[in-house]
Amino acid sequence: MAGPSMCSKPLRFLAGREAMTRIRRDGLYEEMFDVVAGASGGAKWLALTRLDQALFGRWFQQRTRPLHMVGSSIGTWRFACLAQPDRVAAAQRFEAAYLDYSVDDRVTATELTEHCRNFLRLIFGADGIDHVLSHPFMRQSILAVRGRGPIKPPLGKIGLGLGLGMAGIANLASRRSLPLFFERTVLYDRRDPPPFDLLAEFPTQSVPLTASNLMPALLASSAVPFVFEGVIDPDGARPGLYLDGGIMDYHLDMAFTPPGLILFPHFSHRIIPGWFDKALPWRRAREVSLSRMLVLCPSVEFTQALPFGKIPDRGDFQRMDTVTRQKYWRTAVAETDRLADCWLEAVEKDRVPDLIEPLRP
């Protein structure tokens, strides 16, 4: 386990205004959280896998009231693992398979999508879908978008590119233009409503999760345009082409409604509202969205000390050969044990109230 001098460096505890007040007043304990958030980010999730295992291997064991797991893209896959009976073992299976993954440079979107289905089959096994839908307290909310206007099937690469280009240009002026091109969609556990305002910022189509649409929902939420195939007409949803939920909700700048706090294990200290905002440094999350959030993220110093000075990302497939990438990814993941150690020590020694920093837009 890392000592105190190490603990303050690898992992940061960033708290919004209300979260900071509550944690400094009452300390940190698991029942103060009603929502866990999971961002888009592809391979960046590898920075969080060991933290997920430490956090969920210790917390939320005897929970009785609902804990809402709200995610887009890879965040939803992490939560599918955590909804299994042995959540740590499921996360470890996914981690191992992801680290072992190799792919030909000429692989098609159709082939990559089938590889994704294989990953989900590995996570779920024979009855994992039922475990998600009947979990005693976890309530999944899977975010995707339905194409509107020019972004609808049948749609080739040129049409998709034009539609995305128009959406990106409109987004420069305002995020409020995105509903012209996309309809935010949440596929949610029917036992409880989604834990955010369905009318705030973007009107949202809400679709109950079923055994027939859970896997399509996970695939749709992760369907990065041009990289993976979108999902057409998932069961129970409006007809259309469904794509990556991160297009609208990249890092979940959302109007959460439960009274408790939002726990956000994240790979960055930045909260970027949408996919088109990644290159727009002036586009920041709203302070009201951050107020009840506790973000756990690697420090800049920790990240810079990794090989190549960064955490893994999807671009590594283009920048590196398979052997180099796999060695780098395994080294980076092993280093993130320090994040898990820091979390465990901070909780065991009740140090979080002293370690929290302001979470800024």
The per-residue pLDDT for range 197-238, each reduced to its tens digit, is 999 889 999 999 999 999 999 999 999 999 999 999 999 999
CA-CA distance, 158 to 164, in Å (whole number)? 10
Domain ranges for the chain, please list them.
11-358
Tokens 């955010």 — which residue?
196
Scanning the structure block, which residue is given the tokens 């110093």? 301
CB distance 289 to 201 below 8 Å: no
Write down the pTM of the prediction. 0.95
Q: What does the longest C-alpha to C-alpha distance in the chain come to?
A: 57
- What lies within 8 Å, CB to CB, of 77 at 6+ separation is 45, 94, 119, 120, 123, 218, 222
- In this predicted structure, the answer to whether residue 5 has a pLDDT above a threshold of 50 is no
Q: What CA–CA distance (Å, rounded) separates 211 from 230?
A: 19
In whole angstroms, what is the distance from residue 193 CA to residue 200 CA? 15
Record the tokens describing residue 335, joined without a space: 């280093």
Could you read off the pLDDT of 29-79 as tens digits, one per residue? 999 999 999 999 999 999 999 999 999 999 999 999 999 999 999 999 999
Angstrom distance (rounded) from CA 163 to CA 157 = 10
Structure tokens at 150: 């020019």
Q: Which of left, alpha, beta for 349 (phi over 0: left; psi -120 to 50: alpha)?
A: alpha
